[in-house]
Structure 1
Amino acid sequence: MIEMVIEQRRRSLGGGLEVGRVLPFAKRRMVGPFIFFDHMGPIGLPAGIPAEVDVRPHPHIGLSTITYLFAGEVMHRDSVGSELPVRPREVNWMTAGRGITHSERFEKARAEGDFLDGIQAWVALPKEYEETDPAFSHHEGDDLPQWSEGGVRGQLIAGSAYGLTAGARTHSPLFYAHLDMEAGATAEIPTGHAERALYVASGEVELDGRRFGAGTMLVLGPDASGVRAAQRSTLMLLGGEPVGERFLYWNFVSSSTERLAQAAEDWKAGRMKLPDTDDGEYIPLPDTPMPSPPAMS
């Protein structure tokens, strides 16, 4: 039932902000189209936190980012003119396509203090959409169908599952859901997708005769159909159809290493537009090697 267990690795983003990095993992880079999965926090952000905590403007290509919070508030600004916060149980869905830049700032925390807990996931775009126009959409309310049954409260974040469909436009078949489970409750794991995973954001669950705690992702086999909460727990369920091999360099995703190199050069040369209302600074290109192109057969 369980193909792999992935424990989050703590990573510092600077200024005291930490995330739990789950995907990509050395032995499992993707689950369906999901190529990146970070658990932001949980962390208290006191009033007056320094600007170094903010994520300054930076670029993306070839992917969609999905920002979803359990607690806290993050202000989003991007190069297509979007400017609004994301709050708990809301979704910011940003499709980079041929190129977008954005910032994520903790302005509420700086003014009055805040507690941050949430997930940022990236999904790789299919080849035919890798160079699509960049776009942004915000979703809440009816766009994110909810249900409650047998000690399980669920919310569909993206895609289709549980007989429901969320409002964000997706470019390939996938599902992404948030479940809050009471102790002893059992939840169905959606079927019908080639690859699936479960992430324990808090609490402890039982699956396949074993217990797993917070910060653990379980990559599931085709016969996994249900999970039991050993204690009050919050889970993220995700999966979908694979989109093919993808290369990842910094914030860029592509099916082509040459395209990654071009994006890196474009950013370094200042050819990617910054957000109109946040163009005074940016994150420079890191001094790390590009991924190697595939070997010729």
Structure 2
Amino acid sequence: MSFFPGIDPEAGDAPACDAIELLVIPRTTDLGNFQVRRALPTAKRRLVGPFVFFDRMGPALLKAGQAMDVRPHPHIGLSTVTYLFDGEIKHRDSLGTEMVIAPGDLNLMTAGRGIVHSERSPENLRGRDHSISGLQTWLALPDQYEEIDPIFAHTEKRDMPTFRQDGLDGRVVIGAFEGMTSPVKVFSDTIYIDLKIEAGRSAPFAAEWEERALYILSGEAVIAGDHFADNQLLVFRPGVPITITGGPMGCHVMLFGGAPMGSQRFIWWNFVSSSKERIEQAKEEWRTGRFDIVPGDKEEFIPLPER
């Protein structure tokens, strides 16, 4: 998805729990047909592991005649991760990929030196009411992979490990968790877990990942006796084991993080790089039409922002 011109999220009040380094209240931007909440990047925290961008799409109901239409736009230096809870999105890119993503599936598009893509409601949903709910995150690429050839990979939900026991219902989307490993291949140590916790039940979040965070999708999460509501991002201190307990109505959360990048990342619009000069080059390439086109979706594009 294009990096829409939203306002940076804000840090919330300091929580009582010593294990929490930062509480982020996402800023909400209305895209017309649905809202998006941005939790990363924020002024006080640019990355968590490789995650340089974290957007919550919806949940929203698009009425007949409404649709999601993100026109073709470019990326460099990152992998986009699209994961849905409801609805469908049709992805097209300059590699010639055309793929409809369904709930529980994962689209992983690695831009590397440069790719262009669009994201739209598929034809079968247009003209009737349909819902949309999901996450789009960006993974910054390690220095040695920033300029690789672009790649697209789609993983169906049936191919990801799932678990259901002791009041927990989860899916290992990326990385490894409690002895289960996802088949999704990424370029640095990454964890991304979809987890539902019943009221009063608990789940561990081990300290083996140096940088870890939790986004509360719905319900209420309890950590060390503190209660946290939905649509909050909690960044945990390194080295401190965490236990997450479902509140009175349970909770649905995403656990994420991984190894630190090891070098600074700059982000401007849809471009991520360890080099400001590379971002300036990408801006000029998009401005002058030197990126590849998207087959089947070449009539429109998002212009370079004037900022």
1-structure distance, mates of 2:206, 2:94: 35
Which residue number corresponds to residue 39 of structure 1? Answer: 56
Match of residue 211, structure 1, among 227, 243, 257: 227
Q: Is the 8 A contact 1:77 1:103 kept in 2?
A: yes
Percent identical: 46
User: What's the offset of the Cα at 1:142?
Assistant: 4.5
Match of residue 17, structure 1, among 27, 30, 34: 34
Q: In terms of mean alpha carbon deviation, does 64-73 or 224-233 score higher?
A: 224-233
Unaligned runs of 5+ in 2: 1-18
SS at match of 2:71: strand
1:213-245: CA deviation from partner (whole Å, max 9, x where unpaired): 111010012213210010221100001011121
User: What's the offset of the Cα at 1:209?
Assistant: 1.9
How many residue pairs end up in the alignment? Answer: 285
> Which segments of structure 1 move beyond 4 Å, counting only runs of 4 or more?
none
2-structure distance, mates of 1:143, 1:126: 26
Q: Does 1:88 align with 2:103?
A: yes
Which residue number corresponds to residue 297 of structure 2? Answer: 278
Q: CA RMSD in A?
A: 1.2
Unaligned runs of 5+ in 1: 289-297
Which residue number corresponds to residue 45 of structure 2? Answer: 28
Which residue number corresponds to residue 278 of structure 2? Answer: 259
**1:221-232 → structure 2 map (5 Å cutoff):** 221=237, 222-230=239-247, 231-232=249-250
Q: Is the 8 A contact 1:63 1:122 kept in 2?
A: yes
Q: TM-score with structure 2 length normalisation?
A: 0.90
SS at match of 2:255: strand
User: Given residue 305 of structure 2, which amino acid in structure 1 is its aligned partner?
Assistant: P
SS at match of 2:126: helix
1:112-143: CA deviation from partner (whole Å, max 9, x where unpaired): 22111100000000000000110101101443
Match of residue 176, structure 1, among 185, 192, 196: 192
Q: Is the 8 A contact 1:97 1:129 kept in 2?
A: yes
Q: Is the 8 A contact 2:54 2:137 kept in 1?
A: yes
Q: Is the 8 A contact 1:46 1:109 kept in 2?
A: no
Q: In terms of mean alpha carbon deviation, does 208-217 or 60-69 score higher?
A: 208-217
Match of residue 203, structure 2, among 184, 187, 206: 187
1-structure distance, mates of 2:284, 2:179: 44
Match of residue 105, structure 1, among 120, 124, 143: 120
Q: TM-score with structure 1 length normalisation?
A: 0.93
SS at match of 1:102: strand
1:85-138: CA deviation from partner (whole Å, max 9, x where unpaired): 111111001000000010000134423221111000000000000001101011
